[in-house]
Amino acid sequence: MITVTHVRGDQLRIEVRGHEVVTDQPVEDGGDDTAPTPTEMFVSSLAACVAFHAERFLRRNGLPTDGMKVSCDYAWAENPHRVGAIDLQVEAPGLTVARREAFSRVIGRCTVHNSLHQPPDVRVQVAPAAA
């Protein structure tokens, strides 16, 4: 189970399997800018998933992982307000031309990317107020 609790201001603590991550908001949006925003974490999770699959592909195919990097940027969309586009750039200096197509297929099917293409049902429940 993942638990998110309020710390102070706009800071939230995310607990996952004994690990902690904090989110915040930029100063211009009312936060203290002490950590990434939840939206930045969302986009980062896609980049990290792609990077994990890229690194794993390279290692399994005996190719060097040195210099492997995933960079990303995103753009907003409206109605409703959301992330409208995500651009990823994968650098894999050790990738051979012969393995490029297979590499692209593997990184394009990471778990987070698949979840965006086949969105999960999201159910939100509000706990009853304490008596």
DSSP class of residue 102 equals: H
Q: Where are the beta strands (DSSP E) in the chain?
A: 2-8, 11-16, 19-23, 69-77, 82-91
Q: How confident is the model at residue 67 (pLDDT cuts 50, 70, 90)?
A: very high
Q: Whole-angstrom Cα distance, residue 24 to residue 46?
A: 19
Q: What is the domain partition of the chain in residue ranges?
A: 1-35, 37-117
Query: 130 pLDDT band (50/70/90 cuts)?
Result: confident
List the alpha helices (DSSP H) in the chain.
Answer: 38-60, 100-107, 111-117
CB count, 10 Å around CB of 90? 19
Q: Give residue-wise pLDDT tens across range 79-100.
A: 999 999 999 999 999 999 999 9
Q: State yes or no: pLDDT of 69 exceeds 80.
A: yes
Which positions ≥6 away from 78 have C-beta within 8 Å?
84
Does domain 37-117 fall into CATH 3.30.300.20? yes
| Mean pLDDT calculated for residue range 43-65 | 98
pLDDT for res 131: 76
pLDDT, the chain, mean: 97
Residue-level pLDDT at 23: 98
Q: What number is the average pLDDT over the span 44-50?
A: 98
Q: What pLDDT was estimated at residue 6?
A: 98
